[in-house]
């Protein structure tokens, strides 16, 4: 297939490009630095500065992962506007490409996040669970709505609500592993908040699954079937490194340090991949212990 990818130079995008290159797909990536994209991604790609620049190509599918990093800086009102605007702009650019192509793509797989649900306590969360209204939900809702507006009879749109992505060279583990290796890791607050997570390889497989699935319209939870609490995550990560994790970061300290953004760390959702499992997707890393053990083995 000929696939346009935004966010291709990011943590997930790079792995996705490498996976699809091995399958023989033609990859057309959107990058602010097109001349450096090949070196960053590590496989041959056609890189251009804007999605609409691929209007002269045949496009079978689009994957839209671009957006300002959520943890890039404290959430001032200006930063919150920037987080929303970056996602909406990337999605509008994809929409412009779709409108100008002679033959529209059959699939658009667009990013979203577990933050769509907001704070859900300990209840099980599927794609049908009503969200809790907070900034993370509004951010994801606007992103999803912009993508779903592009759906047509010719093009299905899937929005993937992604959990915390785990692998050895990026994502949330990159800043955490050094602290835990030193034995100074610990839980956040009471540790009862759920942390939906997914191994990066399984997330790539989910995107590939949706690329080839017959019916993909709507929202899909992209997290492993065994979400864990922050306390469980802390214990499992420490065990995978053979280190203790005796410390606790009080919730009030996290709140003072991060402000409103602390909600992402101190609250969560027990998000389950209900639609994916019903559609027949099977995770290679269904449990956190298996995911972290494999990551540490490959890092050694």
Domain range summary for the chain, segments of one domain joined by +: 2-166+197-223+269-284
**pLDDT, tens digit only, all 300 positions of the chain:** 999 999 999 999 999 999 999 999 999 999 999 999 999 999 999 999 999 999 999 999 999 999 998 887 889 999 999 999 999 999 999 999 999 999 999 999 999 999 999 999 999 999 999 999 999 999 999 999 999 999 999 999 999 999 999 998 888 898 888 889 999 899 999 999 999 999 999 999 999 999 999 999 999 999 999 999 999 999 999 999 999 998 899 999 989 888 988 888 899 999 999 999 999 999 999 999 999 999 988 765
SS (HEC) of the chain: CEEEEECCCCHHHHHHHHHHHHCCCEEEEECCCHHHHHHHHCCCCEEECCHHHHCCCCCCEEEECCCCCCCCCCCCHHHHHHHHHHHHHHHHHHHHHHHHCCCCCCEEEEEEEHHHHCCCCCCEECCCCCCCCCHHHHHHHHHHHHHHCCCCCCCEEEEEEECEEEECCEECHHHHHHHHHCCCCEEECCCCCEECEEEHHHHHHHHHHHHHCCCCCEEEEECCCCCEEHHHHHHHHHHHCCCCCCEEECHHHHHHHHHHHHHHHHCCCEECCHHHHHCCCCCCCCCHHHHHHHHHHHHC
Report pLDDT digits (tens) over 166-195: 998 888 898 888 889 999 899 999 999 999
CATH 3.90.1150.10 fits 2-166+197-223+269-284, yes or no: no
pLDDT at 89: 96
């Amino acid at each position: 297939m000929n696939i346009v990818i935004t966010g291709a130079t990011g943590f997930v995008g790079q792995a996705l490009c490498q996976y699809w290159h091995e399958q023989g797909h033609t990859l057309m990536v959107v990058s602010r630095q097109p001349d450096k994209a090949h070196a960053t991604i590590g496989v041959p790609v056609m890189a251009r500065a804007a999605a609409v620049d691929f209007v002269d190509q045949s496009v079978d599918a689009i994957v839209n992962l671009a957006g300002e990093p959520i943890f890039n800086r404290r959430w001032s009102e200006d930063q919150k506007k920037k987080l929303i605007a970056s996602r909406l702009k990337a999605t509008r650019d994809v929409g412009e490409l779709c409108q100008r192509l002679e033959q529209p793509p059959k699939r658009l797989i667009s990013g979203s996040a577990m933050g769509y649900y907001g704070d859900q306590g300990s209840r099980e969360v599927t794609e049908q669970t009503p969200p809790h209204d907070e900034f993370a939900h509004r951010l994801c809702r606007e992103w999803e709505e912009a993508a779903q507006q592009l759906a047509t009879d010719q093009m299905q749109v899937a929005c993937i609500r992604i959990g915390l992505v785990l692998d050895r060279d990026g994502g949330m583990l990159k800043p955490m592993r050094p602290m835990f290796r030193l034995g100074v890791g610990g839980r956040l607050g009471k540790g009862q908040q759920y942390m939906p997570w997914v191994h990066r390889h399984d997330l790539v497989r989910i995107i590939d699954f949706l690329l080839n699935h017959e019916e993909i319209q709507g929202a899909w939870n992209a997290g492993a079937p065994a979400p864990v609490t922050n306390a469980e995550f802390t214990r499992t990560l420490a065990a995978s490194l053979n280190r203790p994790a005796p410390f606790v970061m009080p919730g009030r300290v996290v709140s003072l340090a991060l402000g409103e953004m602390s909600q992402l760390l101190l609250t969560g959702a027990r998000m389950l991949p209900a639609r994916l499992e019903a559609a027949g997707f099977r995770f290679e890393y269904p449990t956190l212990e298996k995911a972290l053990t494999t990551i540490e083995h490959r890092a050694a």
